[in-house]
Amino acid sequence: MKSHTKYLWFELPRRRGLVRITDEVEAFVRESGLAEGMVLVSAMHITAAVFVNDDEPGLHADIEEWVQRLAPGPSADDRTPGPDYRHHRSGEDNGDAHLKNLLVGHQVILPVTKGKLDLGPWQQVFYYEFDGRRRKRVVLKAIGE
């Protein structure tokens, strides 16, 4: 069994944002030399998420509205403030970002088959930032043969 690790770094200029990272994950799988196995894609911050879904702008807007409805927070550009969560009493202003992480999830495990990322026809990998404007990372870990 072999393994390979790499980190992707992000620094989004706004509080929230969605980044398609499928190409980076596919390049990592090629770089790993793995023929059969799995790749873990995991946000290393509790205010960001990783998920697999369709790369369609209407769906992206629906997801943004959904997370805002379930865990209200400031607008992505910070023009409209969000509710005052108890977490804010610690000096932070990102209580909603922690809750959004719980809704979307911080990692996915993806299959590698015949040296390639084995996704369905519409599946793409995304990094979703909920508390941007600072440097964050995602770990990629390939394990297999």
Q: What is the residue extent of each domain of the chain?
A: 2-81+93-144
Per residue in 11-39, pLDDT (tens digit) is: 999 999 999 999 999 999 999 999 999 99
What is the distance between the alpha carbons of residues 45 and 121, in angstroms, rounded to a whole number? Answer: 29
CATH fold of 2-81+93-144: Jelly Rolls (2.60.120)
What is the average pLDDT score of the chain?
96
Confidence of residue 78 (pLDDT cuts 50, 70, 90): confident
Tokens linked to 90:
């610690």
For 33-43, what is each residue's pLDDT tens digit? 999 999 999 99
Binned at pLDDT 50, 70 and 90, residue 75 comes out as confident
pLDDT above 90: residue 76: no
Q: In 69-135, where do the E strands start and end?
A: 107-113, 116-117, 124-129
